[in-house]
Structure 1
Amino acid sequence: MLGKLAKIAGICTIAVLLTGCSGGAGLFGGGTGDGLFARGAAEERREARREANRQAAIDEGLLPDPNRESIFDLFQNSDDPNNTVEVNRYLWNASLEILNFMPVEAADPFSGVIQFGYGTPPGGRTAYRATVYVQDPALEARSLRVSVQSRSGAVSRDVARQIEDAILTRARQLRIRDASL
């Protein structure tokens, strides 16, 4: 019986001593002491709290979300120019003006493709549809490709060339007009 009391007294004495020394956490960093591992664990907890608070502020709208994309991101020129596809704006606008009798079915300014639906030109009887491909930022004939089709099938290459010439002429007019501003 006396042996058991001595063991209990010894355990209580060790517990009291450890409690007085930051709860026995001085070596392993479980408490607030300057133990061997205490600084790293406390810093990790602080960083985790900071990140949780920051994320809560983002969720509540108090801070802007750095991963959020908006329509204004399209206008930032942060991409590598070697990886982006650029189209000539004069060719693009001239294509829309010259072929304005056709409805636009699809337009992708990033790849330079405008797809028009069937439309009858003024003074004509045959309905045509066209696809315009602006493939280069230069205002040159090699930058523009037009394919034209009627309801009965493909049309002659001369018709497509005439449309390309009209688009190129209008694009040059637009560029000259902008240069005089």
Structure 2
Amino acid sequence: MSLHPFLRAAMFGAAVFSLTACGGSMGRMFGGPSDVELVRAAAQRNNDAEYEMRAQQDDLVRTGVRDNGSSFWDLFNKSDDPNTKVEVNKYIWNASLDILSFLPVETVDPFTGVIVTGYGVPPGGGQAYRATIYVQDPALDARSLKLSLQTRGGASVSRDTQRAVEDAILTRARQLRIRDSKL
């Protein structure tokens, strides 16, 4: 039994079309890329785009335009970079606030270690003073404390007065540390 040539060509075309639709690409049948080649090309474009994006982010981080994804909580993590550490001696900090408690606090910044007070008169004194305290190191050491005292007229106080206040702060800081070590 012989099929009509037109019917035979139609069946052959239907078989080729159904096989092509099941597992291959119509483009490959007509000389275009296969599905695998198309997927590989798309993956390569994706990889290239991701590489470019990372390179741009690295450039922004390197130039300081954008941070590297750090957050507020990273300040409290231990790291070797002094630009991200917050290290202020807590005993000197608390002793400064304790000794100069008669001065009204205007600005407190524990991240930079700066305390700025307003004018106040010490107990039993007649002169009003203003103080700026800078705690710059985590060590309980005289080098960690920088103190500036001024009178209401803006003049600096005598070196002896300033040294007496610094000594009082450092003495109180040592007392606080000793008290904590006994706990």
Unaligned runs of 5+ in 2: 1-12, 50-68
Query: RMSD value over aligned CA atoms?
Result: 3.1
Corresponding residue pairs, total: 141
* Structure 2 SS opposite 1:177: helix
1:139 is aligned to 140
1:24 is aligned to 27
Q: Return closer, same or farther for 1:69/1:25 CA change in 2, 3 Å cut-off.
A: farther
Amino acid at match of 1:162: A
Amino acid at match of 2:142: A
Which residues of 2 match residues 1-181 of structure 1 at below 5 A? 21-25=24-28, 27-29=32-34, 33-34=35-36, 36-41=37-42, 69=71, 72-75=73-76, 77-83=77-83, 84=85, 86-152=87-153, 153-181=155-183
Please report how far the alpha carbon of residue 73 of structure 1 lies from its aligned counterpart in structure 2 after TM superposition: 4.2
Normalised by the length of structure 1, the TM-score is 0.65
Q: Return closer, same or farther for 1:135/1:69 CA change in 2, 3 Å cut-off.
A: closer
Amino acid at match of 2:121: T
**Alpha-carbon separation, structure 2, partners of 1:146 and 1:68:** 32
Contact 1:28 1:38 in 2 (8 A): no
1:57 is aligned to none
Unaligned runs of 5+ in 1: 1-12, 49-66
Amino acid at match of 1:107: V
**Alpha-carbon separation, structure 2, partners of 1:95 and 1:157:** 18
1:4 is aligned to none
* Per-residue Cα deviation, 1:135-177 (whole angstroms, up to 9, x for no partner): 2222122221211001122211111111001001100000000
Please report how far the alpha carbon of residue 129 of structure 1 lies from its aligned counterpart in structure 2 after TM superposition: 0.3
Q: Return closer, same or farther for 1:25/1:151 CA change in 2, 3 Å cut-off.
A: farther
Please report how far the alpha carbon of residue 74 of structure 1 lies from its aligned counterpart in structure 2 after TM superposition: 3.8
Normalised by the length of structure 2, the TM-score is 0.64
* Structure 2 SS opposite 1:41: helix
Amino acid at match of 1:24: G
Contact 1:105 1:117 in 2 (8 A): yes
